[in-house]
Amino acid sequence: MLHKLLSYTLLLAGLLILMHGCAPLQFIPEDLDEEFETTEMSAEEFVAQLPYQQKPLDAIEGRARAQISAPDGSDRASVEFKADRRQSLLIVRNSLGIEGGRMLTDRDSVLVYDRLDSEAFKMSHTQAADYYVQGLTAVNLLEVIQPDFSNAEAYNLFESRTSFVLISPEDIRYFFDREDLTMQQIIFPDQSGHAFSEINFESYADFDGHSLPVRIQILSSDRDTSIFLRLRSITSNPMDLDFDPDIPDDITIRRV
């Protein structure tokens, strides 16, 4: 009896030591493509290998062209953008070059200035998902092209023959090309309150010393509206960005 008890004790101790030395178990989500499997690399190790981790962007300023396809028609616009890790400002002009409005985004809210109707509104991010200026909705392009993975230890990583996928605690999925580790797609979970359901990236090129996607496709949360952005120029890490939306004093900002 004493011999059996000692054997069980040693077995239990061995299992505890083994479990302590192993990484936490990762379970492959049922809705993830069956080609994906667990990987021996940790999410932290993977993030450290991403190309932009060697030259991270803290702020950007630039221009883009936009083509918007929606159920009620299509439109074209030009976009000037400024963004850092805290806030973002979009200035949108229609195909004739007339400014339609500005959108200032921070971590807590979105301020929309409709210049054509001389109106300004402050709203939550969830509300802003349904508000468009010249077909565009509020977005921080820096967070789109270079997501913040500073808490990578909370993510799960899986691999396939052609891709890696990094999954956040909120089930946001970031897909990377296996060969060059460029980000190819972001998928947001259904009913998550995000303004978008999917973001796709194509044709990486050099912008001011950084490899960034030339073309970005953004799908609305209901997948009815598609925004195609083509980056034209980007200044990396500019100093003293001005995020003033320049709303005239005689316009009252109304909270939605």
**Residue 99 pLDDT level (bands cut at 50, 70, 90):** very high
- pLDDT, tens digit, for every residue of 171-180? 999 999 999 9
Other Cβ atoms within 10 Å of 22 Cβ, number: 8
Q: Which domains does the chain have, with CATH numbers?
A: 47-255 (2.50.20.10)
**Whether 123 contacts 133, CB under 8 Å:** no
**Residue 5 pLDDT level (bands cut at 50, 70, 90):** very low
Rounded CA gap, 82 and 133, in Å? 16
pLDDT of residue 21 exceeding 90, the answer is no
Most confident of 27-41, 83-97, 181-195: 83-97
Q: What pTM was computed for the model?
A: 0.83
CA distances from 104 to 10, 90, 129, 216 (A): 62, 7, 13, 20
